[in-house]
């Protein structure tokens, strides 16, 4: 029997707002975005255990890097990328709901639970948010506590969450005006 190793490509990208991130792609699409260096180290070790080959490739990750750069340059509020998403059906439902949160706005964990018809699943929503493999693209940073406090983002890196929310809020008017001008032309 022949065993084929899965190949994943990765590339580092420096952002002005939150520092270095790591993009991970498969041949099927975007697999992960690591915003915390230690998380990438754990992921890398896990790949070794699962016999996944990681190959550094700026070229393979260039489409994602381009759209993330556009996002951080205030030129993009939504992403159009092929995604290779793994997760339970429940988590995928949560992540789909996160994609509906408008740029520059936030929702509570309770709001997300109600939106997917699972009012009492607030903790499970938190776990799904925590396990989101592609932050920024699936905007888990837009989910906050019911009391409007930042809680639990990326292993309690609420400083990153705050930077992303403030960035979007400050660019929201610019993006909206830009979109409206484009539609009128």
Residues annotated as catalytic (active site), given as ranges: 140
What is the DSSP pairing of strand 143-144 with strand 107-108? parallel
Residue with tokens 């019911």: 146
- What is the distance between the alpha carbons of residues 14 and 58, in angstroms, rounded to a whole number? 12
Output helix, strand, coil percentages for the chain, rounded to the nearest 5: 45, 15, 40
Residue with tokens 């260096």: 37
Q: Nearest Cα to 143, choosing from 81, 97, 90?
A: 97
């Amino acid at each position: 029997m022949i065993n084929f190793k899965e190949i994943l490509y990765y590339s580092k990208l420096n952002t002005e707002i939150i520092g270095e991130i790591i993009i991970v792609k498969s041949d099927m699409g975007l697999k992960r975005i690591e915003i915390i260096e230690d998380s990438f180290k754990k992921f890398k070790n896990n790949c070794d255990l699962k016999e996944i080959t990681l190959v550094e490739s700026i070229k393979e990750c260039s489409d994602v890097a381009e759209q993330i750069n556009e996002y951080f340059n205030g030129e993009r509020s939504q992403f159009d990328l092929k995604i290779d998403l793994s997760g339970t059906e429940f988590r995928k439902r949560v992540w789909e709901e996160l994609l509906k949160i408008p740029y520059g706005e936030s929702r509570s964990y309770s709001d997300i639970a109600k939106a997917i018809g699972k009012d009492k699943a607030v903790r499970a929503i938190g776990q799904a948010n925590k396990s989101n493999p592609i932050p920024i693209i699936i905007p888990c940073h837009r989910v906050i506590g019911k009391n409007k406090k930042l809680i639990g983002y990326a292993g309690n890196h609420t400083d990153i969450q705050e930077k992303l929310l403030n960035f979007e809020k400050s660019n929201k008017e610019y993006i909206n005006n830009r979109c409206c001008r484009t539609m009128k032309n």
